[in-house]
Chains A and B, each alone.
Chain A
Amino acid sequence: GNVVVQHDEL
């Protein structure tokens, strides 16, 4: 699958 990075970190 695709890399889904949520950017939920600081």
Chain B
Amino acid sequence: MNIFRFLGDLSHLASIFILLHKIQTTRSCRGISFRTQALYVVVFIARYLDLFFRYVSLYNSAMKLFFIASSCYILYLMKIRYRPTHDPSIDTFRVEYLLAPCLILALIFNYKFNFAEVLWSFSIWLEAVAILPQLFMLQRTGEAENITTHYLAALGAYRALYIPNWIYRYFTEGLVDPIAVTAGIVQTGLYLDFFYVYFTKVLQGQKFELPA
């Protein structure tokens, strides 16, 4: 564990707490893509099934359980508790266009051709693009509540912080994980436009609005 990965994980945790806080305090999931949240459930279950056969550390297991449980809870909040506040008519990104290519990438790029490893690779690629329905929705509405942008910023920062972690691990442990690194760079890249608007508008006290 190094400081970059730890801060990345904290940022990921923070993003979930911000999202839960947004839903609970506004009693609404307006502006949040159900499709993106559902993809995260798929990502976490696919990747963290290794809880059953791989033990890394208490920290690792606790985080995995938290990410699975919290992502399922968010789906429950969106689909049942605050269902009327979710507007499916603006959440229309076709997730098949993400799932199928990720499955193909996982079949081609994996560390071993077995079920667990292909599933792991699939979850890594899917995580990289799971934010697209949310960003697509943001693009369509052209604006977002401040709290939603803080959620997205924390979520984007999480994988961005893994990049210096991988550089650090390469130099200290000689360790390279080409699949995670490639997908992580793609994932961070998808946030660049968002980060630009977040830093130049939201953090300057303005509302998050995209140019028409």
Which residues of A does B touch, CB under 8 Å? 3, 5-10
Q: What sequence of 0s and 1s flags, for each residue 28-54 of chain B, a beta carbon within 8 Å of any chain A beta carbon?
A: 000000000000000000000010001
Q: How far is the CB of B67 from chain A (nearest CB, A)?
A: 7
Interface size class of B (residues with CB under 8 A): 20 to 34
**Do A9 and B180 touch (CB < 8 A)?**
yes
Convert B4-27 into 0s and 1s, putting 1 for each residue whose CB lies closer than 8 angstroms to a CB of A. 010001001000000000000000
In terms of DSSP, what is the predominant structure of the interface of chain B?
helix
User: Roughly how many angstroms separate A4 CA and B125 CA in the complex, as a whole number?
Assistant: 19
Cβ A10 vs Cβ B176 within 8 A: no
User: DSSP majority for the A interface?
Assistant: loop
CB neighbours (8 Å) of B67 from chain A are 10
Partner of A10, one of B54, B64, B175, B178: B64
Shortest distance in angstroms between A5's beta carbon and chain B's nearest beta carbon?
A: 5
B211 to chain A, nearest CB (A): 35
CB of B80 closer than 8 Å to a CB of A: no
Kindly provide the distance from the CB of A3 to the nearest chain B CB, expressed in whole angstroms. Answer: 6
Can you give 14 contacting A-B residue pairs, CB < 8 Å?
A3-B176, A3-B178, A5-B111, A5-B175, A5-B177, A5-B180, A6-B56, A7-B56, A8-B56, A8-B60, A9-B5, A9-B162, A9-B165, A10-B63
